[in-house]
Amino acid sequence: MMIKELLSTKEILGAFPIMKQLRPHLHENSYVELVMAAKESDGYRMFALFEQNKMAAVIGFKPMITLSSGKFVWICDLVTDQTIRSKGNGERLLSFVEEWAKENKFESISLSSGLERTGAHRFYEDKMDYTKTSYVYKKYL
């Protein structure tokens, strides 16, 4: 197992088939554009977990500072290839980001999860010891 930051356009594009499983509305071109814009403007970082040289899971996060949370890491995306879920890859990536956050003096990690994703909620709460602290609201313009 190896975890590697995805830096080049080619590497980021290589994660698209897995990321599309979480974000089915994306198309290759808009995906790459969004990732590159988020990297440039928000400090977004993307890492992939590889098993036997094959990408198995992807996580994207960004360091943030807000008055409500202080200095924290926001998990934007976490997805394991659907063909190999429930093998600990999501846990490994999330634990990797937790260690990264500690090493870089962040106070906490936050994320949101769709209401329908009850399996993911159990994973975050029961396995990874995250606490539900709020609701996220969205208004389309």
Residue 135 lies in a domain: no
Split into its structural domains, the chain has a count of: 1
Residue 140 lies in a domain: no
> pLDDT value at position 113?
76
State the residue range of the domain holding 65: 2-127
pTM of the full predicted structure?
A: 0.88
> pLDDT value at position 7?
96
CATH number of the domain bearing residue 117: 3.40.630.30
Q: Tokens standing for 121?
A: 């909620």
pLDDT score of 136 more than 90: no
pLDDT score of 20 more than 90: yes
Q: Please report which residue ranges of the chain form alpha helices under DSSP H.
A: 9-14, 16-22, 28-42, 89-103, 118-122
pLDDT score of 12 more than 80: yes
Average pLDDT on 82-103 reads 92
Residue 137 lies in a domain: no
Contacts 24+ apart (CB under 8 A), 97-105: 97/47, 97/59, 97/61, 97/73, 100/73, 101/72, 101/73, 104/63, 105/71
> pLDDT value at position 140?
85
